[in-house]
Structure 1
């Protein structure tokens, strides 16, 4: 009973730790002998991602990260609007900025203390074969090696071509022509430490965009949109990079800690489950970073995959449950692609009609039509085959930017506290039945919830919650058979 996790970036690390928490032995494979700590890379960690990490013992990431609560959007020198992020009733901040390197360091420390995780570094995956198990072929400094596991989660990132090729998958989609220059800069910028700033067409980057994120330790991450023929080396040598930075910072002292140039993509595989292998994170989907939907979505992939694999391996459910991983997380990837593509179409209009629309929206300051990136949020499994619909709580679709849908079937449970503890911590121990006073829990592990509280629960209801803290069903006047039917559906129709 072993799962191989291929790739030990934050998504792979999270998957390995979640599986181990469920008691599943893991072989964690990575091609790099040691980590590269350079650069901020993925920096925006959303509340629900922090919640997953906190459940694994990495609550320090929320504490160490720089909390920001305001997203400001400017056109040239004028502020168009600002967005205050909802607190969601949680003790965790809506977003923190923290370098990917620090996240990996903390998760590595947890992995080192987990006896169920066997880490193998310097193992480059070259292929895999499937039958009654998964056989992974690897190249190492000591020659070829083979690893056999019951299942695998592929978290090998955008460059995981060998894995995708072996599974008959490709990252299909588009790449954007313009490049983006990213610099991590250490400087003192009073008043900028708790807000994200997005500039359309600023005087110091005319015709293009700039994004500025605060980070811990008086560091700031600055992203400039630059032409496709941009030459970073030439700009550094000729002093133009210093001029570019000075246009924002003025004469303040600064230090460039890291810099790089990226091209953004919107691409995803056709299948996120191929037999005994589940694809997660950048191995399965790539999106432009505006809105911070990359890493955060990958962590959601990891949690979805981990509990379902654990249920199958424990004999609680049949392999049919694994198909719902593709159904749910591919739908999430499609939504992320739609959201980020709309942002990129606004940032870099591809035709005259879109250019005119953008110009009018910016000139008029029409908040609803200006797209500087819809910030990462959970995907709602309202259409999932695991979710029992409640006609009294119809899902109204994607809520307005910066807001959350009301709790209900398919929605991630709010992070609230009940007498028995934090609801999400309780849910992550297995399926949980939340009841209002007077409801028979039908022999299930349950906790009572206050009527009219943060859930909007009504008298006589029972709320069935999945092991990833999503609501599987809301049952009015529940009977034991109704609870059993919802539980069977929530576990893929094969609960034993």
Structure 2
């Protein structure tokens, strides 16, 4: 039987290919890019504990070396501590029952770990610089054409579009993607500094200093690195480097009493959209991850959900691949 074609070699596509391989199903992963992601400390992901464990079982067993499991979640409003929730990443007494600690890590580290695992798997073929422009289905399989650098036809048993919010697969399948654009915008900075709550994630609403805006969060990473996010007003102008530096200094001073020494590593602006594809399956073609849905806070929950999409779809495709058509089972994916 022909392999499953996976379009997109991001974390969702690589997770899917590894999950298929674990069940004896070969895949061809077609990706527009030329190789690994550029390191961007300000672009991070948060994986729930069981999601991180899933990725570990697929061959990425050293994520805790490049990520950090939070010890607590601290919520503040103005000058008051509202709540401090212990998480399982930190010490706790015998009678405590802390919530599971999510794993926070740079997205490029997750992608690198998944790619390294895929490179070792003989059932996975990674094909970079391959942009699909044609998709045809018949009763026995699916055929796609790729260009750049060469013109190639590929034959698969099924196809899964894991090619992001601007999914080419979704467009070729003529699946609508309604929702809301630019629901929120956040200024983002990754920096190395000592903050008063080592290991804890912080959400501070209405902080009592200038330049903070309505909300700022701080989430720790390994090596004393933090990701800070400021919720921007709906009518805010473009964030200039000078304005972002001012936010950093004022926020650190507000938390620490004065601006401590810090090393700015990366910056960016993150725009959140809420969209949901009208359908996630069209005959032998499927959508997963951002190609199917855009949701979640600060761009982090969406990737966790995408990894879960991959796990959910992989075993259903594996059953159909090994045992023949299972329409009701495949329909249950969406």
TM score, norm. by length of structure 1: 0.60
SS in 2 for 1:220: strand
Q: Hey, what's the Cα distance between the residues in 2 that align with 1:240 and 1:207?
A: 12
CA gap 1:38/1:193 in 2 versus in 1, 3 angstroms: same
- Match 1:201 to one of 201, 206, 215: 206
CA gap 1:83/1:204 in 2 versus in 1, 3 angstroms: farther
Structure whose CA Rg is larger: 1
Match of 1:416 in 2: none
Cα deviation for residue 129 of structure 1 reads 1.5
The worse-fitting range, judged by mean Cα deviation, of 77-86 and 101-110 is 77-86
Give 5+ residue unaligned stretches, structure 2: 90-95, 254-258
Q: Assess if the C-alpha contact under 8 Å between 1:129 and 1:166 holds in 2.
A: no
Match of 1:225 in 2: 231
Cα deviation for residue 306 of structure 1 reads 0.5
Q: Hey, what's the Cα distance between the residues in 1 that align with 2:33 and 2:5?
A: 16
Match of 2:256 in 1: none
Q: CA RMSD in A?
A: 2.2
Describe how 1:41-120 pairs up with structure 2 within 5 A: 41-85=43-87, 94-120=101-127
Describe how 1:297-446 pairs up with structure 2 within 5 A: 297-315=305-323, 318-326=326-334
Q: Hey, what's the Cα distance between the residues in 2 that align with 1:267 and 1:304?
A: 20
Higher RCO (CA-CA < 8 Å; seq separation 6+):
2
CA gap 1:78/1:291 in 2 versus in 1, 3 angstroms: farther
Give 5+ residue unaligned stretches, structure 1: 327-496
Cα deviation for residue 322 of structure 1 reads 0.5
Match of 2:27 in 1: 26
**Post-superposition CA distance 1:283-322 (Å, at most 9, x none):** 1000132594211111110011100111011116623311
Q: Hey, what's the Cα distance between the residues in 1 that align with 2:316 and 2:248?
A: 48
- Match 1:188 to one of 180, 186, 194: 194
Q: Assess if the C-alpha contact under 8 Å between 1:68 and 1:193 holds in 2.
A: no
CA gap 1:178/1:117 in 2 versus in 1, 3 angstroms: closer
Q: Assess if the C-alpha contact under 8 Å between 1:212 and 1:223 holds in 2.
A: yes
Q: Hey, what's the Cα distance between the residues in 1 that align with 2:185 and 2:326?
A: 46
Cα deviation for residue 176 of structure 1 reads 3.5
Q: Which runs of 4+ in 1 moved over 6 A?
A: none
SS in 1 for 2:73: strand
Cα deviation for residue 39 of structure 1 reads 1.6
**Post-superposition CA distance 1:171-201 (Å, at most 9, x none):** 2111235421111112232x42311111111
Pair 1:245-2:248 in alignment: yes
Q: Hey, what's the Cα distance between the residues in 1 that align with 2:116 and 2:213?
A: 45
TM score, norm. by length of structure 2: 0.88
**Post-superposition CA distance 1:442-466 (Å, at most 9, x none):** xxxxxxxxxxxxxxxxxxxxxxxxx
- Match 1:258 to one of 266, 270, 278: 266
SS in 2 for 1:48: helix
SS in 2 for 1:270: coil
**Post-superposition CA distance 1:419-447 (Å, at most 9, x none):** xxxxxxxxxxxxxxxxxxxxxxxxxxxxx
**Post-superposition CA distance 1:238-287 (Å, at most 9, x none):** x3322211112233222222211122111110111111011110010001
SS in 2 for 1:325: coil
Q: Assess if the C-alpha contact under 8 Å between 1:193 and 1:215 holds in 2.
A: no
Q: Hey, what's the Cα distance between the residues in 2 that align with 1:126 and 1:247?
A: 49
Describe how 1:448-467 pairs up with structure 2 within 5 A: none
SS in 2 for 1:307: helix
Pair 1:7-2:13 in alignment: no
SS in 2 for 1:104: helix
CA gap 1:308/1:320 in 2 versus in 1, 3 angstroms: same
Q: Assess if the C-alpha contact under 8 Å between 2:36 and 2:112 holds in 1.
A: no
Q: Assess if the C-alpha contact under 8 Å between 2:162 and 2:288 holds in 1.
A: yes
Cα deviation for residue 93 of structure 1 reads 5.7
Cα deviation for residue 34 of structure 1 reads 2.0
Pair 1:152-2:159 in alignment: yes
Instruction: Count how many residue pairs are aligned between Structure 1 and Structure 2.
Output: 317
**Post-superposition CA distance 1:36-72 (Å, at most 9, x none):** 3232423211111111112112121134421103111
**Post-superposition CA distance 1:218-246 (Å, at most 9, x none):** 111011112344323xx32xx33222111
SS in 2 for 1:98: strand
